[in-house]
Amino acid sequence: MSAAADQGARLLIVGPPGAGKGTQAVRIAESYGIPAISTGDIFRANVKNETPLGVKVKAILDAGDYVPDSLTNELIQDRLAQPDAEGGFLLDGYPRTNDQVAFLDALLESKGEQLTAVVQLVADQDEIVERLRKRAVEQGRSDDTEEAIRHRQEVYLRETGPLIDAYGERELVLEVDGLGSVDEVAGRIDDALASRGIRPTAAA
């Protein structure tokens, strides 16, 4: 059994758009032997496979509405019940609201489990805006203006603020500098997780 599975690494990752969260989520999943679970991926998989939950999601999205907490919670509960998540997981994009936090707490508690840590990628907003603006120019996305990029950063801060506060009170949040090369940031994440006794499976 892997080190991550031994210690039940049940993690969240949060970070502003442009901080490389998706890249680091994939790397953490591979290094620690746990599935990276993204709400977006779950929605798409269920819709594509036309599961009962997917049919509900598609109807809501087709109507231009937001998927309610109750349905998002149901999808997460279904995903965490799958065998690959038994030894731990990395959640990306969930929870987003206090109600979702409460649901996840109750779900884990019902299994005699609890969250291990929240990896929070932090970065100077001006540097991230500059990085994304350059990327938009290189990729020919003229509609991705500095104003639009800053708006997404503000939405992120507004949405995740209460989440970070809630988990910060439990001393679960590990702040990691998200600026630098992929390997540099990965090394900082490994160091932060090691401080909680969580190590890559290769170290098992």
Contact 150, 45 (CB under 8 A): no
Give residue limits of the domains in the chain. Answer: 3-203
How many CB atoms lie under 10 A from the CB of residue 67?
A: 15
User: Would residue 150 show up in a list of annotated catalytic residues for this protein?
Assistant: no
- Write down the pLDDT at residue 188: 97
- Write down the pLDDT at residue 4: 39
Q: Which of 10, 21, 27, 133 is catalytic?
A: 21
Q: Which of 48, 111, 134, 135 is catalytic?
A: 135
CATH 3.40.50.300 assigned to domain 3-203? The reply is yes
- Write down the pLDDT at residue 204: 42
Q: Which of 58, 131, 150, 152 is catalytic?
A: 152
User: Would residue 152 show up in a list of annotated catalytic residues for this protein?
Assistant: yes
- Write down the pLDDT at residue 97: 87
Interacting residues of 110 by C-beta distance below 8 A, sequence separation 6+? none
- Write down the pLDDT at residue 202: 56
- Write down the pLDDT at residue 203: 46
User: Would residue 134 show up in a list of annotated catalytic residues for this protein?
Assistant: no
User: Would residue 135 show up in a list of annotated catalytic residues for this protein?
Assistant: yes
Q: Which of 56, 96, 131, 196 is catalytic?
A: 96
User: Backbone phi, then psi, for 11, in 5-degree steps?
Assistant: -120, 155
Beginning with the edge strand found earlier in the chain, give each strand of the sheet holding 117-122 in spatial order: 36-38, 88-92, 9-14, 117-122, 173-177
Strands 88-92 and 36-38: parallel
Give, for all 204 residues of the chain, the pLDDT tens digit: 333 334 579 999 999 988 899 999 999 999 999 999 998 889 889 999 999 989 998 998 888 888 899 999 999 999 999 999 999 999 999 998 889 999 999 999 999 999 999 999 999 999 999 989 888 889 888 778 889 899 989 988 888 899 999 999 999 999 999 999 999 999 999 999 999 999 998 544
- Write down the pLDDT at residue 5: 38
User: Would residue 96 show up in a list of annotated catalytic residues for this protein?
Assistant: yes
